[in-house]
Amino acid sequence: MAGPYSFRRVREEDRALLRRWLAEPHVRKWWGSDEPAERLELEGHVARWIVWLEGTPFAYMQDYSVHGEEGHHFAGLPAGSRGIDQYIGVPGLIGQGHGTGFIGARMQALYDEGAPAIAVDPDPTNARAIAVYRKLGFEVSGPAHDSRWGRVLPMVAWR
């Protein structure tokens, strides 16, 4: 993949790293779950990634089929659409444009693989994340609402 970012599937040996990142206050505030550290098994509809910056792991990202779970709030999107979730685990790398960089790189890969749309559902009070998503072409696709994953603001970017 072009640029300083690379993506490697999460492995069993990444569990401690994910737990450490999930304990960081800036991650815990918005993520609130140990799921990426506890559910490393391969699921058909979820791809889990460690994101590397010039050879150093610094972020977690997952993409998933929006049709992989019954009743998902993005289930109305066309077949092949993907949802994404991510965080930067290394506090010193926040606010430097890396979120826009690695999310944009993964979005391009998903579009290249045929995804017609990519969805994201940040907490509606997470202004920093929403600004990044808008910069990447996401638009609000519905009202903020409570979901089984917490309060979300649905956003979609189209290929």
Answer for the pair 126, 143: CB distance below 8 angstroms, yes or no: no
| Interatomic CA distance for residues 109 and 113, integer angstroms | 6
Q: Show the domain range for 16.
A: 5-158
| Number of structural domains found in the chain | 1
Which pLDDT belongs to residue 149?
A: 81
Residues 68-91 pLDDT 10s: 888 889 999 999 999 999 999 999
Task: Assign 3-class secondary structure to 2-63.
Answer: CCCEEEEECCHHHHHHHHHHHHCHHHHHHHCCCHHHHCCCCECCEEEEEEEECCEEEEEEEE
CATH code of the domain covering residue 37: 3.40.630.30
Which pLDDT belongs to residue 62?
A: 94
Answer for the pair 66, 72: CB distance below 8 angstroms, yes or no: yes
Q: State the number of CA atoms in the 13 A half-sphere of 132 facing the CB.
A: 22
Residues 47-64 pLDDT 10s: 999 999 999 999 999 999
Which pLDDT belongs to residue 2?
A: 45
Question: How many CB atoms lie under 10 A from the CB of residue 117?
Answer: 19
The mean pLDDT value of the chain amounts to 90
State in Å, rounded, how far the first CA of the chain is from the last one.
18
The mean per-residue pLDDT over the stretch 124-128 comes to 95
CA distances to 14, 25, 31, 55, 81 from 84, in Å: 19, 21, 13, 23, 10
pTM over 0.75: yes
pLDDT at 43 over 80: no
